[in-house]
Amino acid sequence: MLRAQSIELASRENNQNVDKLVRDIYGGDYGDIGLSGDTVAASFGKICSMKDRKSVRPEDLARSALVTVTNNIGSIALNAANQCQIDRIVFVGNFLRVNPIAARLLSNAMTFWSRGTKKALGAVGCLDRIVAVTAMRRAQRAQAN
């Protein structure tokens, strides 16, 4: 129940009100390395310089916490995949099943940080991909025979 409430709270606002973004530092995108101005540079980074912290909304904090946790999960998964030379990363469990925000963030982060070499899939997406690859291999074998 608490998880559903937290995700609902996070879906109402955005983390950009409390997170320091690339554009807050550079005034826009940081094109030299392909970072969009909307990329988080420091989670909760704006709070440190706020004069009136009471104006921070719980929704913004919930969204920032969700983005922070999701980015950490993605970073750990990407580093592990790189170490093991794995191209497809499968995420399972209720965290993503009930959390379309995190699923989208993970997918986008994997594509960006791996320069398109790694793909993040949920369990259903993984099953769909396995079915497609199996069908393709069967078709190739049939053509070879």
Domain containing residue 124: CATH number: 3.30.420.40
CA distance 31 to 103: 26
pLDDT at 119: 75
pLDDT at 25: 92
CA distance 142 to 145: 5
- On the 0-12 / 13-18 / 19+ scale of CB atoms within 10 A, 30 is middle
Count: domains in the chain: 1
pLDDT at 4: 63
CB 36, CB 16: distance < 8 Å: no
In a domain, 24, yes or no: no
In a domain, 36, yes or no: no
Phi, psi of 35 (to 5 degrees): -90, 130
What residues are paired with 88 via a beta bridge?
119
Residue 30 DSSP label:
B
Residues in the chain, total: 145
Q: Give the contacts of 37 (CB within 8 A, at least 6 positions apart).
A: 21, 22, 23, 26, 28, 29, 30
Which residues form the domain of 8? Answer: 1-18+56-143
Structure tokens at 93: 């469990």
pLDDT at 125: 61
pLDDT at 117: 84
What residues are paired with 21 via a beta bridge?
40
In a domain, 3, yes or no: yes
In a domain, 1, yes or no: yes
List per-residue pLDDT tens for the chain, 145 residues long: 445 667 766 776 678 889 999 999 999 999 888 888 988 889 999 988 888 878 888 888 888 888 888 888 888 989 998 999 988 788 777 777 777 888 888 888 888 788 888 877 766 666 666 777 788 889 988 888 7
pLDDT at 1: 42
